Structure formats: structure tokens, C-alpha cells
Amino acid sequence: MLNVCGDSVRVARPLFQVEGGGSIPTSPLQLNIEKIDIKKALQLNRLWHSRLPNLTNWQACEAYSAEYSNRFYAVMIFGPPVARAFNGTPTLELRRMAISSDAPKNTASRMISVTIKILRKSKPWLKKIISYQDTDVHAGTIYKASGWNIGHITKKSEIRWGKLSKKGNGRIRNEIIATGEKIRWEKTL
């Protein structure tokens, strides 16, 4: 591009799309992360979750979505921990996190960060969040990037959740859900 004097001029383009400057977000910073109705969260989970689109035999306490311009891009659903070892502890389980294929890169990390800040304020009693990774489907990258620690690994050869005693305590894993190694990730608040 030339200016009025005929000299070459550099044109500066913004690194990120200006708010309201387009129909799709180009950065996770543009997403609005807010509490959402559980029924809507379940609908979004069914659309996007890679392995477990339906939640059965569970209790959800709250859910959050990432939205831009009245369009959803991700959902997180929290509930009480499934593992009995956490009964009565100040712990929540991230039961599902599902992201649409057209969400901006790093949406998961941003959503985890913002949601944890919201939970810290709204639930001062909360000390830990846990979540389970299916190693057949995911590498655990979002947990690592968000500062979570590995709490326990259930090997593929184990047929029950949790530690087994000689009496065979522990719950039998549902084969539809648990075909491979599982990693329990923990985030201390």
C-alpha cells in the first residue's frame, strides 16, 4: 500500500478479531464463560463428547458453558465425586467436558481457568476438583496445561475401580465406559 507521497506503508492488522467483528471467535478470550442450566448442558454434552455423550446414574450440581454471540462452544458439568473415597470431603468432580469442533484453540484451558475462579468464589468450602481421563481417547494435555496433578492411575488390567482388598472391595467397571487405563487428575484449590 502506498501513502499520498508514494511511499510504501505498512498496514497493521490486529492479532485477534475485534469484539463483534465477526461471527466466530478466533480466541478463547472472546468466549463468555457462565453458569448454564443442567438440561442445556446435557444437550451440548450429547452433541460434542467424544466417548460418553450420555450421563447415566449421576447427580450434577452445576454446569458452565463457553458462548460467543449466542452460540455455544464448550460445556463443563460438575457433580459429587463418584469414588466413595471422596464421600464427605470438600471435593467436586468434573464429570464431563465437551468442546465443539469449531471452538478456538485453547478453549479447554481457558474454560478450566475461569470456571475454577468462579467455583472458588461461589463455593469457599471447596478444596479439590477431580476428573478422570480415558487414556484410550485423550492424552491429558488440558489437565497438564491447567496445573492438575495425577492422583491415581487405574491400570487396564484392573477390573474394578479403586484399591482392592483381599475381600474384593471396589466397584466393577462398566465395560462400555472403562475399556482402558484411567487417570484421576486432581486440582487443589
Instruction: Select the more confidently predicted residue: 148 or 177.
Output: 148
The whole-number pLDDT of residue 165 equals 42
Are the C-beta atoms of residues 69 and 87 closer than 8 Å to each other?
A: no
pLDDT at 87: 87
What confidence tier does 167 reach under pLDDT thresholds 50, 70, 90? Answer: very low
Q: Mean pLDDT across the stretch 24-52?
A: 84
Question: What is the pLDDT, as a whole number, of residue 138?
Answer: 80
In the chain, what percentage of residues exceed pLDDT 90?
A: 35
The pLDDT assigned to 64 comes to 95
Ordered by where they begin, the domains of the chain are 28-131 (3.40.630.30)
Q: Which residues of 135-166 are buried (b: 16+ CB within 10 A; e: fewer)?
A: eeeeeeebbeebebeebbebeeebeebeeeee
One-letter-per-residue 3-state SS of 16-69: CCCCCCCCCCCCHHHCEEEEECHHHHHHHHHHHCCCCCCCCCCCCCEEEEEEEC
Q: Which residues, other chains included, contact 125 with Cβ-Cβ below 8 Å and sequence gap of 6+?
A: 90
Spatial CB neighbours of 114, under 8 Å, sequence gap ≥ 6: 33
Cell of 17: 478479531
- Residue 72 bridge partners (DSSP): 67
| pTM given for the model | 0.74
Of 96, 109, 21, nearest to 58 (Cα)?
96
Q: Are strands 62-68 and 71-79 parallel, antiparallel or unpaired?
A: antiparallel
Residue with grid cell 479439590, as numbered in its chain: 128
> What is the C-alpha separation between 63 and 131, in angstroms, rounded?
14
* Predicted pLDDT of residue 135: 81
pLDDT at position 78 over 70: yes
Give the pLDDT confidence score for residue 16 in this predicted structure: 55
Higher-confidence residue of 55 and 83: namely 83
